[in-house]
């Protein structure tokens, strides 16, 4: 099987689109993620796949915690911006005018208008292939609205109605 066919087949996996946010000291960054899922229910854990050169991963390694914000289908502009700009170069929260609010159990703020926020403490880190898998134990969560989730499908951001 060719690599092109493998890539096309992998593109058929519909993934939710979200943000991984980390605050360490005065630095707060968010990056767009589509490769995440629930990993365990007892204890409640999620896993997130991050490219090793992402600035947010540097902060995450130092902080040991993160917030996974699941985006709603009307938040495509946030996903696009946070996925194409580095926190090394731009304050994404300020640039987007993104509303945040204090988290219940971690230092990193939650994205106020996200579909849901999962506050996590890192319980595992694994270098596999060209990404780093972060496992986070969910210590608190909130659901902000009942909109539909933003999806990543066929290597593009997609909406439920497509």
Chain segment 116-162, per-residue pLDDT in tens: 999 999 999 999 999 999 999 999 999 987 899 999 888 777 654 43
User: What is the percent of the chain with per-residue pLDDT over 70, rounded to a whole number?
Assistant: 96
**Paired tokens of 138:** 């969910």
pLDDT score for 161: 45
**Residue 94 pLDDT:** 96
Fold of 17-158: Pnp Oxidase; Chain A (2.30.110)
Segment 23-39 shows an average pLDDT of 95
Cβ-based burial of 13 (10 A; exposed 0-12, middle 13-18, buried ≥19) = exposed
Please check whether residue 29 is in contact with residue 21, taking contact to mean a CB–CB distance below 8 angstroms: yes
* Domains of the chain by residue range: 17-158
pLDDT computed for residue 30 by the predictor = 97
pTM: 0.93
């Amino acid at each position: 099987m060719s690599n092109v066919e493998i890539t096309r087949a992998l593109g058929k996996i519909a993934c939710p689109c979200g943000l991984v946010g980390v605050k360490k000291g005065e630095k707060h960054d968010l990056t767009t993620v589509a490769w995440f899922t629930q990993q365990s229910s007892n204890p409640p854990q999620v896993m997130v796949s991050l490219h090793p050169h992402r600035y947010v991963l540097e902060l995450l390694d130092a902080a040991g915690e993160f917030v996974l914000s699941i985006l709603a289908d009307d938040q495509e502009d946030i996903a696009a911006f946070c996925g194409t700009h580095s926190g090394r170069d731009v304050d994404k929260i300020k640039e987007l005018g993104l509303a945040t609010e204090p988290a219940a159990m971690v230092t990193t703020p939650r994205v106020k208008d996200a579909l849901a926020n999962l506050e996590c403490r890192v319980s595992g880190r694994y270098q596999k292939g060209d990404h780093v898998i972060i496992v986070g134990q969910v210590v608190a969560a909130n659901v902000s609205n009942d909109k539909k989730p933003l999806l990543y499908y066929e290597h593009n951001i997609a909406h439920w109605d497509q």
